[in-house]
Amino acid sequence: MKRFLIIGHKALTTGSFSLNDMPGSAGRMDVLCRCVNSCFFLSHDLRRDVECFLVLLGEPDAPKTVKFSGEKVRYLNPDERSAGSLLQKALALPCTETFRESTRGVYVRRGGLKELLEEFRDEEGNPIFAILDENGSDIREIPPETTPTAFILSDHMNFTQEEEEMIKDLKRISAGPKVMHADHTITVILNELDRKNL
């Protein structure tokens, strides 16, 4: 399974946003919708072995996490409004600390980065996630056996001080020398994993 965790620092935590104004009044929800699409869409196919976690930190009820499962997801089409509409439905549900399905393959719960870091650990008890960072180790230089398959990205903003503290011991992986949009970075990373047969 490949996993991408994207932090939406201003993304609203209510479903009552307009699909016509996701970049503005929804706190750059458009960035997160594009990340969802990059996680899953191939030409005429869907990546079933990917999970995408959106950590939403905007008003009025942060933090919330929405999970998209490539294996289970339905009703997702390759445009921003489609992902936005599934997010609206997820965020309209009352939520607890346990994931609750809103539409097929889309789940919502209360909590954010801290909970995901605690939950996804390897046999030695370390978080499985690596940070995507243009200054990290070049993914092309890492052998397939030790290449991470779970990654954390920020949206259009920098990681906060508090987030940096939580992720300071994680590996940092670069997809290339230029700073790219988060969704483009996901596409590049998935392509690198494809090339490594992971």
Ligand X SMILES: C[S@@+](CC[C@H](N)C(=O)[O-])C[C@H]1O[C@@H](n2cnc3c(N)ncnc32)[C@H](O)[C@@H]1O
Closest CA to 50 of 31, 69, 32, 67: 69
Among 121, 140, 156, 195, binds ligand X (CB under 6 A): 156
By CB under 6 A, tell whether 153 contacts ligand X: yes
Is residue 120 within 8 A of residue 114, CB to CB? The reply is: no
Radius of gyration of the chain (CA): 16
User: How near is the Cβ of 102 to ligand X at its closest, in Å?
Assistant: 26
Residues contacting ligand X: total by CB under 6 A = 17
Q: What residues numbered 95-134 form the site for ligand X, per CB under 6 A?
A: 132-134
User: How near is the Cβ of 143 to ligand X at its closest, in Å?
Assistant: 18
Please say which residue, 34 or 67, places its beta carbon nearer to ligand X: 34
User: How near is the Cβ of 141 to ligand X at its closest, in Å?
Assistant: 13
Q: What residues numbered 166-195 form the site for ligand X, per CB under 6 A?
A: 174-176, 178-182, 185
